[in-house]
């Protein structure tokens, strides 16, 4: 059972990785949209900026949030404890007492 969960977790992490990469790329594209609007100016620029902020970015934000939850679920299924505090004491360096 544990091996099956590990495989499912690995597939989910792969989906998470590619999904986050796509969302980050889409968010970065907004920069070029705003630069194009700055160069164009006028009412067209206002329409471009309004499209980016009111229509495009909410989908990017929802997708990123969903993918983060998906990634946390993948870590939970895989048995990782990445978000827990480490209670082990760090090894002391030489010369410390």
Task: Convert the pLDDT of each residue in 14-49 to its tens digit.
Answer: 999 999 999 999 999 999 999 999 999 999 999 999
Q: Residue 37's CB: how many other CB atoms inside 10 A?
A: 19
| Average pLDDT of every residue of the chain | 88
86 belongs to a structural domain: no
Percent of the chain with pLDDT over 90: 61
Number of domains in the chain: 1
Q: What is the pLDDT of residue 3?
A: 85
Instruction: Say how far apart CA 2 and CA 8 lie, in whole Å.
Output: 10
pTM: 0.73
Q: What is the pLDDT of residue 2?
A: 82
96 belongs to a structural domain: no
45 belongs to a structural domain: yes
Which structure tokens are listed for 66?
């969903």
Angle between helices 2-40 and 42-50 (to 10 degrees): 170
Q: What is the pLDDT of residue 89?
A: 59
Structural domain harbouring 62: 2-78
Q: What is the pLDDT of residue 60?
A: 95
């Amino acid at each position: 059972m544990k091996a099956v969960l590990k495989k499912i977790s690995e597939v989910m992490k792969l989906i998470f990785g590619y999904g986050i990469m796509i969302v980050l790329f889409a968010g970065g594209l907004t920069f070029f949209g705003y630069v194009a609007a700055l160069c164009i100016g006028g009412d067209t620029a206002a329409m471009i900026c309004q499209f980016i902020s009111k229509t495009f970015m909410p989908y990017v934000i929802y997708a990123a949030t969903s993918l983060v939850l998906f990634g946390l679920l993948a870590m939970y299924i895989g048995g990782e404890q990445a978000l827990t505090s480490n209670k082990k004491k760090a090894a002391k360096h030489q010369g410390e007492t």
